[in-house]
């Protein structure tokens, strides 16, 4: 039983609920109309017996279905930011020390439970936790700029130094009075056709890029902060802006290689293994044995596989292009189905490019 068949009932429920967390996981095709849609389509929902699910738009189109003109499933999904996010963000921007309780959220015309669920899905935290994170991020930056603990606490809306200290230690794992300066890791959520990604950067380059539903995400982030001796804050960074642009180009089929600095801590062998991954041509695959030979260590197949599993920058450092010697798809942090999607996507993009070049050649040929 394949993934589409196994999850069909779950996908249909997501379709009825227009659940945006399923964007990139499937498209739904309606037999009675011949049209396929994304999970969040606003069009009237067909009966369960009249729909079937496909992993992507190309597969649905190959089966003879046409893309919906309402939800445009062949385009990159753009998450609709709800009105409450704009209003609450502006309110906190104008009054950063204000605590927006459930009662205040209701007075602004919004349902606290809806706000809570959206923040939990998008940021993996409640709105109240998000408010605390913003205050702690601002406090950390003040301390890094040389302000004393009392000033930083009062500026963050705390009347008690002990309460501020406890919240700060809970957020960052050390006391606000610690004198040694720490590095800052900037984090940002990025959208993709196969699910949202968490991207992180330091000034030296990209240090993390993984799918947000990955099981080991939390432990990997803690390990990264420990290795880099840094704290992680949500925000904007030039490396993350460049990454967002290049990922969009990649998923549009317009980029083959990434031009980004990578700053992932690792041993010399691991860094060499990650560079070797970046040398595997777009749209092709290599075995672990091939990669070990490229490293000049043909006997280090197991160590090469371990280094690949420790790759923290998915897609940009394309470990999805490494397969088993028997041609089978081995483990992938984002899930084997995503590995298969990426490999098929790259091959289809290459094929389309070759076809376009061939057609251009025919057009130029004199008659």
Q: Give all domains of the chain, ordered by start, each with its CATH number.
A: 3-67 (3.40.10.10), 84-181 (1.10.10.60), 186-345 (1.10.10.10)
* Single pTM value for the model: 0.63
- Cα separation of 262 and 271, whole Å? 10
Task: Please write the tens of the pLDDT for every residue from 104-159.
Answer: 999 999 888 888 888 877 666 788 888 877 777 777 777 777 777 887 777 777 77
Distances in whole angstroms, Cα of residue 260 to Cα of each of 205, 250, 278, 320, 355? 7, 13, 11, 18, 29
Count of residues making up the chain? 367
At 155 the pLDDT is 74
Rounded (10°) CA dihedral 78, 84, 85, 87: 130
Q: Is 68 assigned a catalytic role?
A: no
Planar angle of CA 54, 59, 62, nearest 5 degrees? 130
DSSP result, 248-286: HHHHTT--SS----B-----HHHHHHHHHHHTSPTT--E
Of residues 133 and 296, more confidence is placed in 296
What is the band of 279 on the pLDDT scale with cuts at 50, 70, 90? very high
Paired strand residues for 37 = 28
Helix (H, G, I), strand (E, B) or coil at 181: coil
Q: Is 71 assigned a catalytic role?
A: no
- The token pair that represents 249 in the structure block: 């180009």
Highest mean pLDDT range out of 120-124, 160-164, 170-174?
Answer: 160-164
Strands 27-30 and 51-54: antiparallel
At 366 the pLDDT is 46
- The answer, yes or no, to whether residue 237 has pLDDT greater than 70, is yes
Rounded (10°) CA dihedral 236, 93, 96, 20: -70
What is the band of 367 on the pLDDT scale with cuts at 50, 70, 90? very low
Helix (H, G, I), strand (E, B) or coil at 235: coil
Strands 322-323 and 286-287: parallel
């Amino acid at each position: 039983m394949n993934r589409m068949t196994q999850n069909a009932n779950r996908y249909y429920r997501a379709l009825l609920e227009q659940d945006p967390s399923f964007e990139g996981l499937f498209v739904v095709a309606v037999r009675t109309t011949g049209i396929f849609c994304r999970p969040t389509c606003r069009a009237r929902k067909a009966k369960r017996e009249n729909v079937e699910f496909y992993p992507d738009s190309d597969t649905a189109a190959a089966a003879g279905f046409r893309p919906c003109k309402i939800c445009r499933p062949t385009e990159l999904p753009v998450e609709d930011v709800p009105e409450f996010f704009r209003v609450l963000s502006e309110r906190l921007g104008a009054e950063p020390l204000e605590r927006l309780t459930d009662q205040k959220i209701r007075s602004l015309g919004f349902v606290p439970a809806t706000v809570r669920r959206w923040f939990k899905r998008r940021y993996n935290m409640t709105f109240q936790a998000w408010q605390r994170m913003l205050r702690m991020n601002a406090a950390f930056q003040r301390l890094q700029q040389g302000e004393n603990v009392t000033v930083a606490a009062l500026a963050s809306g705390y009347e008690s130094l002990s309460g501020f200290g406890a919240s700060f230690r809970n957020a960052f794992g050390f006391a606000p009075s610690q004198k040694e300066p720490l590095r800052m890791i900037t984090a940002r959520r990025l959208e993709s056709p196969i699910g949202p990604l968490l991207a992180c950067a330091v000034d030296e380059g990209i240090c993390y890029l993984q799918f947000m539903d990955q099981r080991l995400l939390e432990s990997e982030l803690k390990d990264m902060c420990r290795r880099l001796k840094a704290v992680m804050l949500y925000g904007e960074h030039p490396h993350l802006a460049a990454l967002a642009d290049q990922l969009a180009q990649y998923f549009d089929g317009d980029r083959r290689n990434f031009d980004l600095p990578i700053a992932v801590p690792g041993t010399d062998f691991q860094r060499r293994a990650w560079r070797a991954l970046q040398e595997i041509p777009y749209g092709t695959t290599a075995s672990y044995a091939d990669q070990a030979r490229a490293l000049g260590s043909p006997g280090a197949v197991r160590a090469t596989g371990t280094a690949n599993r420790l790759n923290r920058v998915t897609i940009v450092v394309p470990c999805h292009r490494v397969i088993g010697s028997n041609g089978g798809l081995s483990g992938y942090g984002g899930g084997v189905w995503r590995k298969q999607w990426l490999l098929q996507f790259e091959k289809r993009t290459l094929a389309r490019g070759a076809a376009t070049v061939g057609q251009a050649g025919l057009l130029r040929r004199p008659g």
